[in-house]
Amino acid sequence: MHFTRARDLVVAGLLAAGVGYILFSTFYADLPRIPRYAGFTLLVLAVVEAVLGGSLRSRIRHRDGARPVQALTAARAVALAKASSLLGAIMFGVWLALLAYVLPRRLDLTAAASDTPGAVIGIGCSVLLIGAALYLEWCCRTPDDQENQPPGYRSGESA
């Protein structure tokens, strides 16, 4: 299994932003008001994944007498991390599309002015989810995992 690549997240985010902007341009007038804290669900996921990552990291590294991690548990955590980072990238694109649509219209439309803070909060929570998901994925690496390391890197070498 390969770890998540930044280009995959960028492509997903750009596609979501493009499609989102087209949809907002077409259907914005028909949408209900965007709740200010609609993006907080992503923040909750980010916190859970960050805590899970810290716990798994200490267990994988066998610190403080922690019990070992079953291989299936680590694989599920990596799958969760990969899915969450992709979700975060897609939602980042959607929130960015919303912000790009409402920001120039906020002086003319009351709805656009009230939706702007929700879009900004959604963007921030999406970024936090991406970061937490990548952290969780990183935490699931074993100490002897040399894949995706810079050339010349070895576990015991000093820099």
Q: With respect to residue 22, please indicate whether it lies within any of the assigned structural domains.
A: yes
Structural domains counted in the chain: 1
Q: Is residue 95 part of a domain?
A: yes
With a cut of 50, say whether residue 154 has pLDDT above it: no
Other CB atoms within a 10 A radius of the CB of residue 138 amount to 15
* Domain membership flag for residue 74: yes
Residue 121 burial class via C-beta count within 10 angstroms: exposed 0-12, middle 13-18, buried 19 and up: buried
Question: Is 156 inside any structural domain?
Answer: no
Return the pLDDT at 107. Answer: 86
CA–CA separation, 112 vs 110, rounded Å?
Answer: 5
Q: Determine if the pTM surpasses 0.95.
A: no
62-93 burial, b at 16+ Cβ within 10 Å, e below that, comes to eeeeeeebeeeebeebbebbbebbbbbbbbbb
Is residue 150 in a domain? no
112: in domain: yes
User: What per-residue confidence (pLDDT) applies to 68?
Assistant: 80
DSSP H helices in the chain: 6-27, 40-60, 71-102, 110-139
| pLDDT > 90? residue 132 | yes
Q: Does 89 map to a domain?
A: yes
Residue 96 lies in a domain: yes
Question: Is 84 within 8 Å of 92 (Cβ atoms)?
Answer: no
Which residues span the domain enclosing 65?
A: 6-30+38-139
Higher pLDDT, 116 or 156: 116
